[in-house]
């Protein structure tokens, strides 16, 4: 039997993993729900594809943008 060739992640996948980790950390501080963050965190433990990493990032960032825009609206002075 021959040896299996080890498949290493690309530089881009490694960068996306670090970015996803940082986004999860920042989203946790901003109060994004655990239901959204736990699957993304579990994804980091697996061997995700680049598309899976981008999808997870997109979901979290979309939620974070909604939270940021809502908090900015709360700061506007009432007329």
Q: How many whole angstroms from its chain centre is CA 45?
A: 13
Q: How many domains does the chain have?
A: 1
Note whether residue 7 is domain-resident. no
In terms of residue numbers, what domain contains 42?
A: 35-71
Note whether residue 60 is domain-resident. yes
Note whether residue 78 is domain-resident. no
Range list of H helices, 1-79:
11-30, 34-45, 50-75
Rounded CA gap, 78 and 42, in Å?
Answer: 42
pLDDT tens sequence across 4-44 = 888 888 899 999 999 999 999 998 888 888 898 999 999 99
pTM for the model stands at 0.71
């Amino acid at each position: 039997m021959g040896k299996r060739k080890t498949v290493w992640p690309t530089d881009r996948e490694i960068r996306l993993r670090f970015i996803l980790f940082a986004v999860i950390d920042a989203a946790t501080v901003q109060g994004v729900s655990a239901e959204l963050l736990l699957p993304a965190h579990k994804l980091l433990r697996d061997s995700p594809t680049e598309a899976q990493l981008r999808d997870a990032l997109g979901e979290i960032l979309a939620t974070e943008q909604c939270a940021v825009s809502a908090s900015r609206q709360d700061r506007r002075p009432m007329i």
